[in-house]
Structure 1
Amino acid sequence: MTLVAGGCFYLFRYGFDRPVAAIYALFTVVALGGLSRIPGTGRQQAAVILRLLPVCWVLVTVGTYLSVRTWTAAVGMLVVGFTLAFSAVGGPRLAGAAPGLQLLYILPSFPPYDPGSLGDRLIGTTTGAVLFVAAEALLFREPAPLPYRERAARTALNAEHCATRLAAPPYALTDTDVRAARAAGQALRPLNVPEAERPAGPGVRDRALTHTGLAIRTLLSRLAQLPAGPGAGPAARQETAPDATAGPVREAELGVTAVLRAVAALAAATAACLRAGDSPSAEQEALAAARERLSEASAGTAATRAHGSLPPGGTMCAPGLPPAVLRRHAAVLEIADAALAMGAAADLAVRGRHATVELPVGHFWYARSPDPVLWWHRMHGHAGRRSVFFQNAVRMALALTAARLVAGVDTLPHGFWATLATLTLTRTTLGATWSTIRLALAGTLAGALVSAGILILAGSGTAVYAVLLPLLMLFAFTVGPVKGMGWAQGLFTVTVALVFAQLAQPTWRLAEVRILDVLVGSAIGAVFGVLAWPRGAHDEMRRAGAELLRRAAEIVVATSASVAGGAASPAPSGVPGRRSLQRAVILAESAYAQLQSEPPALGGRGRRAGPPHVVDWQETLITGHHALWGSARMLEPPLAELSPAAAESAGTLGERVAGRMLLVSAALDPGEDTPATSVPLIDPALAAFSAEPPGAPRRYYATVAWLGSLMTDLRRIAHADHTPEAGPGGADGR
Structure 2
Amino acid sequence: MSGLPRVPAAYAGAARSSVRVTVAAAGGFYLFLYGFGETVAATYALFGAVSLGGLSRIPGTGRQRAVVLLRALPVALLLVVVGTFLAVRTASAVAGMLVIGFALAFVAVGGPRPAGVAPGLQLLYILPSFPPYAPDTLGERLIGSAVGILLLVLAEATLFRDAPTVSYRELAARAAGVAERCAGELARPPYVLSRAAGDAAGAAAQTLRPSRVPEADRPAGPGVRSRALAHTGLAARTLLNRLHRLPAVPEGRTPAEPGLDLLRAVARSTAATAALLRGAPGSGTASPARERAALAAARERSADPVALRRDAALLEVADAALALSTAAGLAARGRSAGPEPPLGRFWYARMRAPRLWWRRLIGNAGSRSVFFQNAVRISLALAAARVVAGLDTLPHGFWAMLATLSLTRTTLGATRSVIRQAVTGTLIGALCTAGILALVGTDTTVYAAVLVPLLLITFTVGPVKGVGWAQAFFAIVVSLVFAQLAPTTWELAEVRLLDVLIGSAIGAVFGLLAWPRGAQREVRQSSAALLKSAAEAVVATASTIAAGWVRDPASPPRHASLRRTLVLAESAFAQFQAEPRVPTAGDRARTTDWQAVLLTGHHALWGADRLLAAPPPPEGGAPGPVSVPPLDPEAAAALTRLGDRVAGRMLLLAARLESPGDALGAADVPPEGTSPAAEGAPPTVAGASPAGTSPAAEGTSPAGAPGRYYATETWLEALLADLDRVTDGGAPLKAP
Establish whether residue 293 from structure 1 lines up as the match of residue 278 from structure 2. no
Structure 1, unaligned stretches of length 5 or more? 230-235, 242-249, 301-317, 723-727
Amino acid at match of 1:80: I
Establish whether residue 426 from structure 1 lines up as the match of residue 413 from structure 2. no
Shift of 1:460: 1.3
Establish whether residue 504 from structure 1 lines up as the match of residue 507 from structure 2. no
In structure 2, do the counterparts of structure 1 residues 674 and 601 end up closer, same or farther at CA, with 3 Å as the change threshold? closer
- 1:620 corresponds to: 597
Establish whether residue 10 from structure 1 lines up as the match of residue 30 from structure 2. yes
- 1:232 corresponds to: none
Shift of 1:324: 1.7
- Per-residue CA deviations over 1:548-598 (Å, capped at 9, x if unaligned) read 11111111111001111132533597564x111011011111111111121
In structure 2, do the counterparts of structure 1 residues 29 and 360 end up closer, same or farther at CA, with 3 Å as the change threshold? same
| Cα distance in structure 2, aligned partners of 1:353 and 1:640 | 37
- Specify which of 690, 701, 704 is matched with residue 692 of structure 1: 701
Contact 1:544/1:584 (<8 A) preserved: yes
- 1:583 corresponds to: 564
- 1:132 corresponds to: 152
Amino acid at match of 2:631: L
- 2:12 corresponds to: none
- Specify which of 221, 224, 245 is matched with residue 241 of structure 2: 221
| Secondary structure of the structure 2 residue equivalent to 1:117 | helix
- Per-residue CA deviations over 1:255-280 (Å, capped at 9, x if unaligned) read 11000000000000001111125566
- Per-residue CA deviations over 1:575-628 (Å, capped at 9, x if unaligned) read 64x1110110111111111111212269xxxx8887585222111111101100
| Cα distance in structure 2, aligned partners of 1:551 and 1:289 | 34
| Secondary structure of the structure 1 residue equivalent to 2:166 | coil
- 2:429 corresponds to: 447
- 2:619 corresponds to: none
- 1:681 corresponds to: 668
Alignment of 1:267-346 (within 5 A): 267-276=270-279, 283-284=286-287, 287-300=288-301, 318-319=302-303, 321=304, 323-346=305-328
Contact 1:277/1:350 (<8 A) preserved: no
Q: What's the % identity of the aligned pairs?
A: 58
TM-score normalised by length of structure 2: 0.89
- 1:244 corresponds to: none
Shift of 1:467: 1.0
| Cα distance in structure 2, aligned partners of 1:572 and 1:411 | 66
- Per-residue CA deviations over 1:429-466 (Å, capped at 9, x if unaligned) read 11111111111111111111111111111111111111
- 1:306 corresponds to: none
| Cα distance in structure 1, aligned partners of 2:557 and 2:99 | 39
| Secondary structure of the structure 2 residue equivalent to 1:237 | coil
| Cα distance in structure 2, aligned partners of 1:430 and 1:47 | 34
Contact 1:382/1:390 (<8 A) preserved: yes
- Per-residue CA deviations over 1:381-438 (Å, capped at 9, x if unaligned) read 0000000000000000000000000110353110000000000000001111111111
TM-score normalised by length of structure 1: 0.90
| Cα distance in structure 2, aligned partners of 1:717 and 1:296 | 36
Amino acid at match of 2:710: Y
- 2:268 corresponds to: 265
Quote the RMSD (CA, aligned, Å): 2.0
Contact 2:528/2:655 (<8 A) preserved: yes
- Specify which of 582, 595, 611 is matched with residue 634 of structure 1: 611
Amino acid at match of 2:703: P
Shift of 1:163: 0.3
- Specify which of 144, 147, 152 is matched with residue 164 of structure 2: 144
In structure 2, do the counterparts of structure 1 residues 475 and 96 end up closer, same or farther at CA, with 3 Å as the change threshold? same
Shift of 1:282: 6.0
Contact 1:344/1:358 (<8 A) preserved: no
| Cα distance in structure 2, aligned partners of 1:433 and 1:730 | 36
Amino acid at match of 1:598: E
Establish whether residue 411 from structure 1 lines up as the match of residue 393 from structure 2. yes
| Cα distance in structure 1, aligned partners of 2:276 and 2:553 | 28
- 2:259 corresponds to: 256
- 2:217 corresponds to: 197
In structure 2, do the counterparts of structure 1 residues 101 and 201 end up closer, same or farther at CA, with 3 Å as the change threshold? same
Contact 2:84/2:134 (<8 A) preserved: yes
In structure 2, do the counterparts of structure 1 residues 601 and 484 end up closer, same or farther at CA, with 3 Å as the change threshold? closer
Contact 1:218/1:338 (<8 A) preserved: yes
| Cα distance in structure 1, aligned partners of 2:121 and 2:362 | 23
Alignment of 1:286-685 (within 5 A): 287-300=288-301, 318-319=302-303, 321=304, 323-409=305-391, 411-567=393-549, 569-571=551-553, 574=556, 576=558, 578-600=559-581, 614-638=591-615, 639=628, 641-669=630-658, 677-678=664-665, 680-681=667-668, 684-685=685-686
Amino acid at match of 2:293: E
| Cα distance in structure 2, aligned partners of 1:573 and 1:30 | 53
| Cα distance in structure 1, aligned partners of 2:651 and 2:341 | 34
- 1:313 corresponds to: none
- 2:9 corresponds to: none
Amino acid at match of 1:298: R
Contact 2:272/2:285 (<8 A) preserved: no
Amino acid at match of 1:555: A
| Cα distance in structure 2, aligned partners of 1:686 and 1:588 | 28
Shift of 1:204: 0.6
| Cα distance in structure 1, aligned partners of 2:266 and 2:60 | 34
- 1:310 corresponds to: none
| Cα distance in structure 1, aligned partners of 2:405 and 2:648 | 45
Amino acid at match of 2:488: P
Shift of 1:665: 1.3
- 2:71 corresponds to: 51
In structure 2, do the counterparts of structure 1 residues 573 and 88 end up closer, same or farther at CA, with 3 Å as the change threshold? farther
| Cα distance in structure 2, aligned partners of 1:647 and 1:551 | 22
Structure 2, unaligned stretches of length 5 or more? 1-20, 616-627, 671-684
Contact 1:166/1:260 (<8 A) preserved: yes
Contact 1:83/1:393 (<8 A) preserved: yes
